[in-house]
Amino acid sequence: MDVRLSAEQQALREAAARLVDDHAPGSVAELDDAARTARLEAALTGSGWRELRAPEDEGRPLASAVETAIVAEELGRGPADASFLGPTLATELRRRAGAEPATALETVLLRPDLSGLVVVEDEQTRCSGVAIDARGVASALALVRTGHGYDLVGVPVAGASPGRDLTRPAAMVEGAAPERLPGAGRRLLTAEDIEAWSAFTLALTCADLVGTMRGAVDLAREYASVRRQYGKAIGSFQSVQHMLADAFVSIEGSSSVTRHAAWAADTLPPGEALAAAAVAKAYCARAAREVCETAIQVHGGIGMTWECLAHIHLRRALLSTQVLGDVGANLARVVAHRKIGGVHDGLR
């Protein structure tokens, strides 16, 4: 056991941090700065990080889920308003199915409540759902159930619009006809594949939440250091100090469970990986809401304004929370995995 990041992993984190520091929006107004988003997009494309889960020899991914999570965390911290989660999840699906790489940027199609991939019963059934993280994306992957497993299909995506998460616009897909992917040599995905993909997805959302929390606390810490009331920096008041200290502690705990969930996604059997991911997601999602709420509270009235970045972090956290299940859904996974459910609903 040695769960330190390797030198290469640390270098990757630093590179991702640099990209984010150079190109992420420094204010809410900058979200609309098309030149900046183009630079961020170009830098991210140039980095090749969207292909971390593309297949190398024997179909293994170029990089592990740990490295992928490192990039996801830094992009969350930014917050980086370029698509990463969606394309990475799509690439992971293609890799598992042995499909050819996508020719254009692609994401995944989730059920309207974002709880999982859209699955249709046959290729004649039209697909509806949400193409998450759809900025600059042309299509989204869904599943068709067959007698022997699940086949990948694509649906066209258009018109991503900023929704609850202003950094990662999504697109509604309504009644799109699924299209078989081109190319041969593809295999059907098993239920275990889906489970493993879900574990990977949850781990990445945790990493994004950890980054989001870091970004929110950085923002609040800075504000608390400069904002003065009653003749002193508000960060010198014990109540503000304790709110931020608790937030920092939550980040540290979240970081530890996320590191394990990312490791588990590539290493443990799918059921165990999913259980590890559920523990991490329940923990991180609970923490993220509290931490982002704290960041707003520390900002006082400013924190309630559209122009303050604090709600941008909160909104991003809410989206990442919802992807493949929020606190309640993942706590239910923990209950199921530890076999402590099945209680009656009323009084004891």
Partner 1 sequence: MDFADSPEEAAFRARLRAWLAENNPKLPQSSTADEYWDGQAPWHRALYDAGFFGLSWPEEIGGHGLPSVYEAIVDEELAQAGAPPRPSLGYLVQGMMRHGGQDVRRRFLPGLVSGRERWCQGFSEPDAGSDLASLRTRAVPRGDEYVITGHKVWTSYSDEADWCLVLARTDPDVPKHRGLSAFAVRMDQPGIEQRPLKMINGVTREFGEVIFDGAVAKASDMVGSPGEGWRLAMTVVSHEREPGELGYVARYSKAVNELVDRLRSAPGRFTEENVRDVAWAVVEAEMLRLHVCRRLSDRLDGISHGPEGSVDKLLMTRVEQAVGHAALGMSNLTGGIEEDTWLKMYLYSRAQSIMGGTSQIQRNLVATRILGLPVA
Asked whether the bond before 79 is cis by omega within 30 degrees of 0, the reply is: yes
Interaction between residue 252 and partner 1 (CB under 8 A)? yes
d(CA 6, CA 174): 44
Closest approach of partner 1 to the CB of residue 180, in Å: 25
Interaction between residue 154 and a second copy (CB under 8 A)? no
Per CB under 8 A, the list member of 8, 113, 179, 222 interacting with a second copy is 113
d(CA 305, CA 308): 6
Select 126 or 180, whichever has its Cβ closest to partner 1: 126
User: Alpha carbon of 171 to those of 30, 217, 249, 280, 309: distances in Å?
Assistant: 22, 30, 35, 27, 23
264 binding partner (options a second copy, partner 1, none; Cβ < 5 to 8 Å by kind): partner 1
Residues in 71-100 at the binding interface with partner 1, rule: CB under 8 A: none
- List the structure tokens of 289: 């809401």
Per CB under 8 A, the list member of 235, 265, 277, 316 interacting with partner 1 is 235
CB atoms within 10 A of CB 305: 11
Q: Residue with structure tokens 């990986």? A: 273
Select 147 or 231, whichever has its Cβ closest to partner 1: 231
Residues in 157-216 at the binding interface with partner 1, rule: CB under 8 A: 161, 163-165, 170, 172
Helices 65-77 & 238-267, crossing angle to 10 degrees?
150
d(CA 241, CA 246): 9
**x-or-dash string of contact with a second copy, 194-233, rule CB under 8 A:** ----------------------------------------
Per CB under 8 A, the list member of 27, 115, 225, 305 interacting with a second copy is 115
Which residues would be at the binding site for a second copy (CB under 8 A)? Answer: 113, 115, 237-239, 242, 325, 328-329, 332-333, 336, 341-342, 345-348
